[in-house]
Chain A
Amino acid sequence: MTDNSSHETEDVAATGDRAADDAVTAGDRAVDDAVTAGDRAVDDAVTDGGVATGAAQQHRQTDYLDSEVNLLNPSTPYMREHLRIVWTGFAIWAVIVFGPVTATYVAPGAMTTQMPIISFPLHYFLIAIGAPGGALALSAWYARRRDELDTKYGIDHDDAGDSA
């Protein structure tokens, strides 16, 4: 039963959330707080058996212990969205890490030209600085996206410690 309802609400939830996201981005902290407060209220309503839309509700209705874990076949809306972020990051990462050295192998002439201003040979710069720097930027990007995903699904990690 959980499966059916979550599939039905998925599209609605997606568009609804996009709108909410925009509001948060456009507005300031006050809006942010309002949204959080609103979410809380919605959550309570859900617990009480009320009707609400959104990813947070899907999350409440998903039984994660009954949903198969398979990297290639995600079974919950949360994992589908999470894996979209993961694979995007992974693809960019693979290009950053193995791209420059492969390009140097294929076209050594073009890749070893000297860069303007900083005078690095291009391949040296892309390998020594581009790859580690790129991985660092990607890591921060991923951690942020994951936090945003948690917020969207109404998950708060700071609460968990206090409730113990």
Chain B
Amino acid sequence: MEPLIQLTREPLDRNALIAAVSHASVGGIAIFEGVVRDHARGKQIRYLEYDAYPEMAEQQIRVIVDEAQKRWDVEHVAVAHRFGRLEIGEASVIIVVATPHRAEAFEACRYIIDTLKTTVPIWKKEVATNGEEWVEG
């Protein structure tokens, strides 16, 4: 099935993503949600700023989801990433994977988020109380 991929400046809608993957043949849904936390490497974070190369990011997410669908019995996937300014506690990324059985839902979800973090051109700037920097991992 064609995955749902969203790159948006608007707050992410978890329920809409879950609804998009829900289907009678689905037996398990795994959800990973990345949220903005208030500290990083000893710094007090005020907010995060995400920048994206949107056309390529969407293409790379599609490649990752295709690979996940080859490796596991994945029926439906929704991936949403937000960019722009995000406050503490807000969701920056949500991955929803629906499969017939639970094991592959966890594995595919883990694979998608781990790969996304290293190959999809979306960057994060930490704006802390003592300065700001682009995070390079």
Are these two chains actual partners, yes or no?
no
